[in-house]
Amino acid sequence: MSGRLDKVLHPSDQEKIVDAIRAAERVTAGELKVHVEARCAGGDAYKRAADLFGRLGLTKTKDRNAVLIYVATRDRKFSILGDTGIHEEVGAAFWAEAVQRMKVAFARGAFGEGIAGAVQSIGQRMAKKFPRKPDDVNEIDNEITTDDT
């Protein structure tokens, strides 16, 4: 894990989240990415997530099945964004449910728990539409990214 990331997310939370990503990707060909920073550049979490989605290469997965969980810890803002392949499958209600679960955990200050829980539920749903195949390749690394310095 990164020293820069330690400034915005406790190392034990980082470990919990990366473990959840790895577990989810053992059952789905979908790709999950978590990006965490202290402040939301521009103030709009959805716009920031959309910008990061392209910048992190999430639009380039073979089945267009990547999901980004974006969190600005100090601003207490976040967004979940799925590429076209997964969004068409789960719809807006699924994302709203995942967001609500994160809100509840974040209200308690449990960022790691909230993010890991979202990763787990999204991964389970993705496994139904995009089950892991024997020749599956990890297209996006599992590490949490940050732009904080």
Task: Report the DSSP beta bridge partners of residue 71.
Answer: 36, 78
Average pLDDT over residues 96-101: 89
List, for residues 50-87, the tens digit of each pLDDT value.
999 999 999 999 899 999 999 999 998 999 999 998 88
In the block, which residue shows the tokens 């609500």? 100
Q: Are strands 66-72 and 31-37 parallel, antiparallel or unpaired?
A: parallel
Backbone angles phi, psi at 79, to 5 degrees: -155, 150
3-class secondary structure per residue, 82-99 = ECHHHHHHHHHHHHHHHH
If 0-12 CB within 10 Å is exposed, 13-18 middle and 19+ buried, where does residue 110 land? middle
The predicted model scores a pTM of 0.93
Residue 146 is predicted with a pLDDT of 94
User: What domains are defined for the chain?
Assistant: 3-129 (3.10.310.50)
Taking the alpha carbons at both ends of the chain, their separation in whole angstroms is 14
Q: Are strands 66-72 and 77-82 parallel, antiparallel or unpaired?
A: antiparallel
Residue 1 is predicted with a pLDDT of 45
Backbone angles phi, psi at 34, to 5 degrees: -120, 130
Average pLDDT over residues 94-122: 92
**CA dist., res. 80 & res. 2, Å (int):** 22
The CA angle 31-71-58, to the nearest 5 degrees, is: 30
Q: What percent of the chain has pLDDT over 90?
A: 68
Backbone angles phi, psi at 53, to 5 degrees: -55, -50
If 0-12 CB within 10 Å is exposed, 13-18 middle and 19+ buried, where does residue 63 land? middle
